[in-house]
Amino acid sequence: MQVQIDAVQGHYNGQLAQRRYGLRVLNRQAPRSMQAGGRTLPALADAAALAAAGEGWYFDAKERGGTLHVRTAVQAIGQPLALLLDFPVAAAAPDDAYPAVPVLGRELPADSLLAVNRPAEEPGDALENAFDDDPGTWFRSIRNQALLTGAHEWAVGFGERKLIDGIDIAPRNDKNWKHGQVRDYEVYLGDSNGEWGAPVARGQLQLKEGVQRIDFPAHSGPLLRFPVLSVQNPEGDGASSTDPMVTAAQGSARAFDALQPRDVGPIALSTFHILEHQEPERPARQQSLSVLPLPAALATQVHADQAFSGGQPLRMNGLLFRRGLGVAASSRLDLALQGRWQLLRADLGIDDACRSAGGLQFQIWGDGRLLYYSGLVKAPGVVKPELDIRGLSRLSLRTLGAQGSRPTQVCANWANAVLIGQEGDTASFVAP
């Protein structure tokens, strides 16, 4: 091994005329010999000997798996220096053994979850205890029943949008596992806390020891809400059916008092894992919407790759768009999605052919829910939505609310409108 140090170039005030060089080399074996400027350097015993000597080297086999330290004699800075290190050639030593990469399951990591809303908790038994992988830690709602508040519920944030299709839930894991078990539940996924819409799943768990899984169609979102509407009877569902005091009070209809909170007892959970939907990776695919066949009934609302007014190529602010949909002032294009589409992208604006007529509004709906609203768009304004459409089976692209000097003549563009997914995903326009 050769090391070449050139002479110092340039000059500055206070520059030293001579200097000593030090070198450190990581290697598993000591060199057979060491030369500096044609001189053979002496081998020394340790660091103390090197510090006391005018020049030389020593090798420490324990430092970082093998380290060579070199010190040269003082020499003029205007002279170059050549170092020659004669290491023996040896077979490569085996690398350090590392454990295999752990197999990651579908559970969202506990350190990525944030309890956005939480029920009343027993001190020391916080909701986060159910997120970890330690069965010895539990989440327990407050056991004091002096103040009834109805259903227990919590909301959990993931930090980013995730495609979720299940929950693993388990009761306490001691001899009293029958007590505090969830019975009736609902599951919500949303994008904004407090705006949940309809539940993606609702159901009833069994009185059972160990983990139970709640499966539902995959839905995407950054937030999950889980209300517990009732708890299990530790004696079983039919335990009270033979009690004459109970049967005497039961009629054909269940008693109800709107002024009283729902009677939901305390719960205890050892596990609450949120499961991310996973599928094998396939090659990526982009689908331009303008090349999909258009039903004849949409001819009065949309033109493929042309402005709706004048039949000219799509242009906005003088820029030509070769792909896209030109639409009328009031239009609705519904798409049926099959597969695992991930994103919808488009450039939305008023075409140059009708820019003086006024402006309008764009909306994108997914499975009956408003996903995007542009507000009033006028030329030369262009908006560029990019929407997560995972888990959706239906999209609706709409224009409405035209305003201006000639609102009926306003025309708009869904330029560069594309779906991004994987091979095998399909989409088609639906006739109105």
Query: Residues 123, 96: contact at Cβ < 8 Å?
Result: no
What are the pLDDT digits (tens) for 207-249? 999 999 999 999 999 999 999 999 998 876 554 444 454 455 5
Q: Quick one: pLDDT at residue 306?
A: 94
What are the pLDDT digits (tens) for 150-201? 899 999 999 899 999 999 999 999 999 999 999 999 999 999 999 999 999 9
Buried b (16+ CB within 10 A) or exposed e, 141-161: bbeeeeeeeeebbbbbbbeee
For the whole model, what pTM was predicted? Answer: 0.68
Which domains does the chain possess?
Answer: 2-9+16-86 (no CATH), 110-233+260-276 (2.60.120.260), 284-430 (2.60.120.1060)
What are the pLDDT digits (tens) for 51-81? 988 899 999 999 998 999 999 999 898 899 9
Looking at 309-313, 355-359, 415-419, which range is the least confident one?
309-313
Residue carrying structure tokens 């982009």: 286
Q: Quick one: pLDDT at residue 104?
A: 77
Residue of 160, 161, 121, 150 whose CA lies nearest to 231: 150
What are the pLDDT digits (tens) for 270-304? 999 999 998 888 999 999 999 999 999 998 899 99
What are the pLDDT digits (tens) for 97-140? 788 877 778 999 999 999 999 999 999 999 999 998 888 899 99
Both structure tokens of 26: 């990581």
Q: Quick one: pLDDT at residue 244?
A: 52
Q: How far is CA 193 from CA 113, 221, 223, 224, 314, in A?
A: 15, 11, 7, 9, 39
Q: Quick one: pLDDT at residue 190?
A: 93
What are the pLDDT digits (tens) for 297-344? 998 899 999 999 878 999 999 999 999 999 999 999 999 999 999 999
Q: Quick one: pLDDT at residue 152?
A: 94
Instruction: Kindly report the three-state secondary structure assignment for every residue of the chain.
Output: CEEEECCCCCCCCCCCCEECCEEEEECCCCCCEEEECCEECCECCCHHHHHHCCCEEEEECCHHHCEEEEECCCEECCCCEEEEEECCCCCCCCCCCCCCCCCCCCECCHHHCEEEECCCECCCCCHHHHCCCCCCCCEEECCCCCCCCCCEEEEEEEEEEEEEEEEEEEECCCCCCCCCCECEEEEEEECECCECCCCCEEEECCCCCCCEEEEEEEEEEEEEEEEECCECCCCCCCCCCCCHHHHHHCCCCCCCCCCCCCCCCCCEEEEEEEEECCCCCCCEEEEEHHHCCCCHHHCCCEEECCCCCCCCCEEECCEEECCEEEECCCEEEEEEEECCCCEEEEEEEECHHHCCCCEEEEEEEECCEEEEEEEEECCCCEECCEEECCCCCEEEEEEEEEECCCHHHCCEEEEEEEEEEECCCEEEEECC
What are the pLDDT digits (tens) for 366-388? 999 999 999 999 999 999 999 99
> What percent of the chain shows pLDDT beyond 90?
68
Both structure tokens of 204: 């009833």
Q: Quick one: pLDDT at residue 406?
A: 94
Alpha carbon 70 to its chain's center: 50
Residue 351 has pLDDT above 50, yes or no: yes
